[in-house]
Amino acid sequence: MRNTFQLRPLSSALIAAITLATATFGANSYAAQSTGAFAVTASVTASCTVSGSPLAFGDFNALGGNVDGTSTLTATCTNGSPYTIGRSAGTSAGATVTTRKLTHTDAIALLDYTLSPVASGGTNWDLIGGTTTAAGTGSGEAQEITVFGQIPAGQTGAIVGAYSDTITATIDF
């Protein structure tokens, strides 16, 4: 007679259930629990950038009328950040914020022009701290501000050729 050990199906199921219970509950069973809390904080700081597109007046006829042009400044500031934008007098000799000057390529001849945040020929755009600047509140998105420029008529001393200047925009926030 041969001795053979056979498991009955019920015994196999019972052993599997005990093994599963030990693996599931035995490894994670604790007698008690305690909880604690901790703070999570962050601070959003104000941040702004400003950039501009070129203002190209095109052709100016010294014997004709005013020549107007526009450009765009783009201010991108943190949502809720108030800002003010001022403009420099430019890099040409003798320029002020009330009378900016384009310099001829010969570096001697000058052509007066104005910049305004409100309209061509309007109140001149001043430096930060001045009386005429552009202001707004950041939205987190790029905000466009129109720059209005004008070369006033009657500048009979203008000579033929190309003129240029460089303006710096400063954003205070």
The pLDDT of residue 161: 94
Please report, for the chain, the start and end positions of each structural domain, with discontinuous segments joined by +.
Answer: 48-172
Average pLDDT of the chain is 87
CB 72 within 8 A of CB 145: yes
pLDDT of residue 8 exceeding 90: no
CA distance 7 to 5: 7
Angle at 99 between CA 97 and CA 104, to 5 degrees: 115
| Two tokens, residue 36 | 């604690």
Class of domain 48-172: mainly beta
| Two tokens, residue 78 | 């943190």
- Summarised one tens digit per residue, pLDDT across range 47-62 is 999 999 999 999 999 8
